[in-house]
Amino acid sequence: MNMITLNNEAQIPQLGIGVYQVRSADCGPALACAFDVGYRSVDTANAYLNERAVGAAIRDSGLSREDIFVTSKLWPPDFRYDKAVVAIDRTLARLGTGYVDLLLLHQQYGDYRGAWKAMEEAVADGKVRTLGVSNFNQRRFTDLVSGAKILPAVAQVECHPYFQQRELKEFLAPFATVLEAWYPLGHADRGLLAEPLFARLGEKHGKSPVQVILRWHLQSGNIAIPRSTNPEHIRSNFDIFDFALTSEEMASIAELDRNRPFFRMPDWVGRIIFPAARINFDKRQR
Ligand SMILES: NC(=O)c1ccc[n+]([C@@H]2O[C@H](COP(=O)([O-])OP(=O)(O)OC[C@H]3O[C@@H](n4cnc5c(N)ncnc54)[C@H](OP(=O)(O)O)[C@@H]3O)[C@@H](O)[C@H]2O)c1
């Protein structure tokens, strides 16, 4: 497994598994398969409503806690300082993992500076090891760090060969903030997975188009967290450490960049929806 050293010296596996839209009942089998194959990093969130199942799967794996990297995320209605203090403890209680390796602000709306202060205190208290952001644009990232004691180690954003995030990566470089790709497979977009280039490169390397895309992420320096509940996919997505794309091949994938995300939401909608969208995590967590 490739490990990436973050700006606080913590190490994160470059390939993990995501559990967005995975029902709690399906988390156990998927994660048992993933741990068996060799994955050691899981990406969940308060809003995914499956933290309890993720924690149970980690305990059931029999692996040592220190060998697994757990990421979770706070949701905007919990972004005031005092609310975030409570939300962090609730996340910890649901996961039951003692500490969270990486805690992210899930969205760039609401009182994210207040929440960040609570997250910094959680680091000082040993509840959280590393902090990061998700879905922050450059302006709000700049606003956050202007009042922060701890710099985000990770910026989790949509990223795949159709949306390569080159400008954001340049912006993040001075902070040594690493890009973590959500929708690393474009949410299984048919057009992306059927790109003739990936089929051609896959044939050459004896790999599938998906494996070529995931290998591209690794060689681009991205952390990738593809989601799957299909054991065959979970296994094959991990089988990407025994080949390398040439610089010419990487350059040809660079040309696929459309610099356009699949997921788009006007900023004003985000400002209204995210801080208001109240999920009763305690009642709905399964
Ligand atoms: N921070 C955020 O706002 C945010 C937003 C979205 C996602 N995320 C994180 O990023 C993770 C990944 O994003 P995502 O799940 O939306 O999209 P994704 O990983 O790009 O795509 C997942 C889809 O790809 C399919 N798939 C996986 N491996 C495959 C393979 N080898 N061959 C064919 N199909 C394959 C999966 O189906 P099968 O189950 O059938 O394999 C699933 O339908 C999430 O789970 C979550 O942890 C974060």
Q: With 70 as the cut, is the pLDDT of residue 278 above it? A: no
Q: With 90 as the cut, is the pLDDT of residue 84 above it? A: yes
Indicate the average pLDDT of the chain.
Answer: 96
Could you tell me the pLDDT band of residue 31, with boundaries at 50, 70 and 90?
Answer: very high
- How far apart CA 178 and CA 169 sit, in angstroms, is 8
The CATH number of the domain covering residues in 3-276: 3.20.20.100
Ligand 1: residue whose CA is nearest its atom 43: 188
- How far apart CA 281 and CA 86 sit, in angstroms, is 12
**pTM exceeding the 0.75 threshold for the entire prediction:** yes
Out of 227, 233, 263, mutate this one to test ligand 1's pocket (max ligand atoms within 8 Å of CB): namely: 227
Out of 33, 74, 105, 182, mutate this one to test ligand 1's pocket (max ligand atoms within 8 Å of CB): namely: 182
pLDDT cut 90: percent of the chain above it: 92
Cβ atoms within 10 Å of 211's Cβ, excluding its own? 20
CA of 203 to the centre of ligand 1 (A): 23
Listed by start position, the domains of the chain span 3-276
- Write the single-letter amino acid at 239: D
CB neighbour list of residue 188: distance below 8 Å, 6 or more residues apart: none
Ligand 1: residue whose CA is nearest its atom 19: 226
Ligand 1: residue whose CA is nearest its atom 31: 233
Q: Which residues line ligand 1 (CB under 6 A)?
A: 18-20, 43, 106, 134-135, 156, 182-188, 210, 225-230, 233, 236-237
Q: What is the pLDDT of residues 149-198, one digit of tens each?
A: 999 999 999 999 999 999 999 999 999 999 999 999 999 999 999 999 99
Could you tell me the pLDDT band of residue 286, with boundaries at 50, 70 and 90?
Answer: low
Could you tell me the pLDDT band of residue 94, with boundaries at 50, 70 and 90?
Answer: very high
Ligand 1: residue whose CA is nearest its atom 9: 182
Q: How far is CA 144 from CA 111, 115, 202, 208, in A?
A: 10, 10, 41, 40
CA of 192 to the centre of ligand 1 (A): 13
Cβ atoms within 10 Å of 194's Cβ, excluding its own? 10
pLDDT at 18: 98
Least confident of 22-26, 151-155, 279-283: 279-283
Could you tell me the pLDDT band of residue 281, with boundaries at 50, 70 and 90?
Answer: low
Q: What is the pLDDT of residues 114-161, one digit of tens each?
A: 999 999 999 999 999 999 999 999 999 999 999 999 999 999 999 999
Dihedrals φ, ψ of 14, to 5°? -75, -20
Could you tell me the pLDDT band of residue 276, with boundaries at 50, 70 and 90?
Answer: confident
- How far apart CA 241 and CA 122 sit, in angstroms, is 35
